Amino acid sequence: MERLRQLLSDVPHFLRTLVWPVATSVRGNVGLASLSIVLGFALWIFVTDTENPTRSGVLPIELAVESVNVPGDLALSGSPVNVRVRVEVADDVWNTLSLADFKATLDLDGLQAGTYDLPVRVEPLTGRGGLRVTEVIPDTVAVELKSLFSKSVSASVSLEGAPPPGYEASIPELDAETVLVTGTQDRVTLVTQAVASLDLSGRTESLTQAVRLEPRDSRGFLVEGVSLEPSVMNVSVQIEQTQFSRALVISATVVGTPAAGYDIVSLFADPPVITVFGPQSFVGETATIRTQPIDITGATEDVILTVSLDLPRDVSVSGGTSVTVTVQIEPAQGRQTLGVTAVIVGLDPDLSVSGPLPLVEVVLLGELPDLREIRPNDIAATINLTGLKEGTHTVSVSVSVPPEASVASVSPEEVEITLEPR
């Protein structure tokens, strides 16, 4: 029916654009003209309604009602109300309608403190699809107006997130310590603080920025229906770098000495380098990071230990605080000199050696632990007289030593031997 009323409202336009030309052309046949007009109008209604059908119903959205013309010394008590609307609109537009297509208002002009049942006005903000509001549900709402009440509450900032490791943020400072809360007394009484949120995640530099304050109760819940003055403040936070990082070489601390005759040939840590975090005074002036002591007293082989790093209290490291240290220990290389009496071999039974046999000095090379175990009896210094006749001869001295040593020198290398008959 509504569609028909709308079509009838368009009749004047139809008559001007279609009927008048037809009437002029058939001025001589009134009956034929009347019939043509009726048929054309019926056809126009049919085609229009078929191509663009309408839809009527209650939209599945709720509209927030805005109070307008609120007296300056009063405030609306309670929470905002919502309404729904029944509309008529072209079927192809129905599913595209949203809150942005409507405005719901409650006019409080000229009212005083008290309770009222006021009509809600909903206006369509668009004319697309022939949109019309046919009903507001509910069409009136009960409101209570109360005198305004104000009080001061403390203002604070709630920090969210934190600067990255090594940075610290100061206590935030607001432009003012308090704000004025205004509203009905029952709502204002609930407010105990005005809180703004500030996210410091990943920040490494000091900042000053505007933040919006929110009225909250003693449990931190938002209180609606009140206003804050000011509602926006500047907050300043100082962010400073308190820890610095640097890659330092690990220096193993070794105490004690290996067993006699053994030396430390190498010393290394795994990992050899580690990243430390600490104050500038430490990180900037320290070249190495030491380990806890590693005792190698009396060691005769490699010492492999996992030890903790010797870290000051305000210094940390990436990864673990322990490292594996290998102290490589090997026998020391040295020399030893021994005196050995030469032994005669190959002497003709009919001959004898004139005078005492010479003392041979033998210098040995090898690992000190082995050299210290070698005695003069372990070395053979021989003078081979095989085939020699009576007389004086210069003969080489031959020396044999244990396999763990080598001969550095023999003195003398040759001796004079005088042979005489027995």
The whole-angstrom separation of Cα 105 and Cα 96 is: 22
How confident is the model over 116-169, as pLDDT tens digits? 999 999 999 998 999 999 999 999 999 988 889 999 999 999 999 999 888 899
Which pair of structure tokens corresponds to residue 391? 């007389």
Contact 273, 250 (CB under 8 A): yes
301's CB contacts (< 8 A; 6+ apart) are 329
The whole-angstrom separation of Cα 235 and Cα 62 is: 37
pLDDT at 42: 52
DSSP codes joined into one string, 114-153: EEEEEE-EEEES--GGG-EEEEEESSEEEEEEEE-EEEEE
Is residue 357 left, alpha or beta, with left meaning phi > 0 and alpha meaning psi from -120 to 50? beta
How would you list the strands of the sheet with 214-216, edge to edge? 214-216, 193-199, 149-160, 178-183, 226-229
Contact 184, 170 (CB under 8 A): no
Average pLDDT across the chain, whole number: 87
The whole-angstrom separation of Cα 272 and Cα 312 is: 19
pLDDT at 77: 80
How confident is the model over 244-280, as pLDDT tens digits? 888 999 999 999 999 988 999 999 999 999 998 888 8
How confident is the model over 295-325, as pLDDT tens digits? 999 999 999 999 999 988 888 888 888 999 9
188 burial (CB, 10 Å; 0-12 / 13-18 / 19+) is buried
Q: What are the structural domains of the chain? A: 2-51 (no CATH), 56-147 (2.170.120.30), 149-241 (2.170.120.40), 244-331 (2.170.120.40), 334-421 (2.170.120.30)
List phi, psi (to 5°) of 12: -55, -40
Q: What is the C-alpha radius of gyration for the chain, rounded to an integer number of angstroms?
A: 55
Question: Which residue bears the tokens 């008529």?
Answer: 88
| pLDDT < 70 regions, the chain | 1-52
pLDDT at 35: 58
pLDDT at 245: 86
54 burial (CB, 10 Å; 0-12 / 13-18 / 19+) is middle
Give Dmax (Cα) for the chain. 185
Contact 208, 236 (CB under 8 A): yes
pLDDT at 284: 84
